[in-house]
Amino acid sequence: MIVDEALGKIYETYYMQVYSFVMTLAGNKDTAQEITQETFFKVMTSKHSFRGESDQLSWLCAIAKNLFTDELRRKARNGGELPEDRPDDSKSIEERLTDKDMSFQIHLALHDLGEPYKEVFELRVFGELSFKQIGQIFKKTESWARVTYHRARLKLKERLDNNEI
């Protein structure tokens, strides 16, 4: 079916980006995986479809954010505590680079990051290369470069949030 192929393509293209976004909200791998899966499940089972008013990634992230907010409300109603030390999602890793102290911490974390994550991150952020160009350098696909970059961001963010530097 054409619809199943389109949904599969959306999942394949955007899974890591949505997961990365939810990870910045939740700060917890299990919750991030659950919300990300729930997001794609909702897309597949929903009667509402993408209307093209924004790009697909923004649409998916909006769904994920709503599901995350619903999860927080559900936990609060059931007597669970809201996380007080949620990561600051107002700044991305790239934005944190402008702060000199934070920049130094990121460079320390980046220094210990394994390959190919380190080089892909550096090429994207400091070299300002496109994912297509990064893929060509590694003789891989654009999707590989995109996924590798987002995994590098997750690894860096995790180390920074856990003060492993």
Neighbouring residues of 56: CB distance < 8 A, sequence distance ≥ 6:
10, 13, 14, 50
The class (CATH top level) of 93-161 is mainly alpha
Give residue 25's pLDDT band: very low, low, confident or very high (50, 70, 90). Answer: confident
pLDDT > 90: percent of the chain: 3
Give residue 144's pLDDT band: very low, low, confident or very high (50, 70, 90). Answer: very high
pTM: 0.47
Please give the CATH topology (third level) of the domain spanning 2-77.
Rna Polymerase Sigma Factor; Chain: A (1.10.1740)
Query: Domain extents for the chain?
Result: 2-77, 93-161
Please write the tens of the pLDDT for every residue from 75-119.
777 765 544 434 445 555 545 445 566 667 777 877 888 888 888
> What is the reported pLDDT for 76?
79
- Could you say which DSSP state residue 114 is in? P
> What is the reported pLDDT for 26?
79
> What is the reported pLDDT for 101?
67
Find the DSSP H helices in the chain: 2-26, 29-45, 56-77, 93-96, 100-111, 117-125, 131-138, 142-161
Average pLDDT over residues 21-32: 81
> What is the reported pLDDT for 29?
83
124 backbone dihedrals φ, ψ, rounded to 5° = -75, -50
